[in-house]
Copies of this chain bind each other. A is one copy, B any other.
């Protein structure tokens, strides 16, 4: 698998090879020393049968790329990977994978946190859940906004 350096940013219509992503990213950034990651999956919940993420082509991917660039600069990263699913996902399936490479652990961790907080409530995605009574749109929780405000 080819990884774009310093930023590999993808919107995926189906599936996500998380293991291959980490393996390829870490060999592309062998000089880093510290590689941190976060993988978010659809949490199985009796009431939730599926999750759907929609995006808006002209904004979503460019916004993710800008976010990746700002993480690179802010945390002095060697590399960053931001992959996000769109479409319909079943419980247990990956939604988002973020990986960062840095000289030190702290910067790699903080950058993953920063990226996830922004993807949750400041990226151009709209999420809805399918429950027994139909589809329901999900809005960010208060907590998500508070998490985002930490970086201002």
Contact = CB atoms under 8 A, between A and B. Distances in A.
B30 A108 contact: no
Interface stretch (A17-25, A52-60, A79-87, A122-130): A17-25
A34 interface: yes
Interface residues of A, number: 34
Determine the main DSSP class of A at the interface with B.
mixed
A113 interface: yes
B31 A43 contact: yes
A148 B42 CA distance: 33
A26 B38 contact: no
18 contacts: A18-B23, A19-B21, A19-B23, A19-B24, A30-B41, A30-B44, A30-B91, A31-B43, A33-B43, A34-B41, A35-B37, A35-B38, A36-B36, A36-B37, A36-B39, A37-B38, A43-B103, A109-B113
Interface of A: 17-24, 26, 30-44, 91-92, 94, 103, 105, 108-109, 112-113, 116
